[in-house]
Structure 1
Amino acid sequence: MTTALITGASGGIGEAFARELAARQTNLVLVARSVEKLNQLAQELQQQYKIQVDVIVKDLTEPDAAATVFDATKTQGLTIDILINNAGFGDYGDFAESDRTRQIKIVQLNVLALVDLTHHFLPLMRQRRSGSIINVASIAAFQPIPYLSVYAASKAFAVSFSEALWAENRQYGIRVLVACPGPTETNFFTEANFPPALAQTTNTVMSSQEVVRESLTALEQWEPNVIISDTGTHLRSAVAKLVPRKILLTLLAKHFKVGAGL
């Protein structure tokens, strides 16, 4: 059976990936910080789908976290056929006034952990000449976002990195996809300290299940990138590329500052 490793698997899009892949009879390795949530999900999926579910409790912002996860899979004799780098978070606010440690942790999780895990598992996929990688980015990747500066920049990195790997690795039979969902039903806004008034101005919210299904369909079609959102968001993203940078940044800063009542 195929085995998928999913980071950030204790909730949101990560949990939705776990449930969808379990229903497709895929064995799972679930990675997150919350041992209670992971064990509960693992037990439920094992009982319902009769699959193997392993749990690795790890904070991926810690030094050498990716190596620890990789070594755990080796120790357990697991072959990872699908790597889903889903773990990530953001933080709303003026960068100069933000908590330094929190901003660094965003980079450590959204960028460094993604790169490190990919570098551990991709060479083995090349040796087998098969495998899949899904990196979860965001619609925020396609323009700088004032007051979400580090988060948006980290997701822009994920898009550029993933698309380059798609080109490098398809000759080895390896699929690489970067999924870019719009606003999704997760705890993102709460964890990012988003002002409620600003969160309410977001566009149509997708379900985590929709994000997962569209991502897996795009992966099957060998797409390098999939934007998962409503038509209006697609259109705004396309128009943003045509707007002069000064105007775009001024409009974005006004929206994210005024919308929050700052």
Structure 2
Amino acid sequence: MYEQNAPDEAFGFGVVFSARTMSELWKNDQETHARIVAASVAVSDMELRHPRATLRYGGFDFSSISRRELLLILQEQAAEAGATLHFGHPAAPGSIDEADVVVYADGASSSHRDARPERFGTTVRHGASPYMWLGTHAPFDAATFSFVETENGHFAAHAYPYADGMATVVIECDPGTWKASGMDRTGDFSRNSGGSDEESLGHLGELFAEHLGGHKLIGNRSRWSTFRTVHNERWSDGNAVLLGDAAHTAHFTVGSGTKMAMEDAIALAAA
């Protein structure tokens, strides 16, 4: 296994697993399932906070876990199964193609997939609405959708807990609102390529102060982005196989890239 980052390096906050995903994991790897459950937060409610009403309902069961904690669990389980793990070791396209099977799980902007898009039948469609991944210590006990109206337009926040005292927050708006609010002009990363858009974080924290209960928004290389819908006609080319966001993307608000990669891995092992 070749990973370009360090073992404890994780970008983002929480990872979400549906009840169906957890059931499939239990069928295929009960030990890893047990470790993930022990480190997860169980959520069963959804709450919609509209300026004029709040609605709450159940039956939306999922588990969420810290991305860093999940990576450590998977690394330990992989090592115990006999895998050799190489960290801080990016693998350039074509550098490991001699293996019997080569699995690429390098995200929506996969360099390995993009090195031969015609072979995978790749198409990528870019959305228009800006969004940003954030964290907070604000207490949320449900998947919570909040909407804030400003003089420049509406902002929406999607939040869910993933650890004791921690929650993921994804904030989005339409392009007109983003530009009118001046947040298209924030974030000079020329001197800090690994930093967050602190100016936008402060402004968004003020906009959603009522929903955050006085807590601040936390960044982790958090910047405005637009969503890419990735589609591949074929998930394999010879001995190369794509997993997760490299193969297909789901909407950013459901945090499912890692979930899909794990489901894809289970399907590949079965095949």
TM-score by length of 2: 0.27
Q: Determine which structure has more spread, i.e. the larger CA radius of gyration.
A: 2
Larger relative contact order (Cα-Cα within 8 Å, sequence gap ≥ 6): 2
Task: Name the structure where helix makes up a greater proportion of residues.
Answer: 1
TM-score by length of 1: 0.27
Task: Name the structure where strand makes up a greater proportion of residues.
Answer: 2
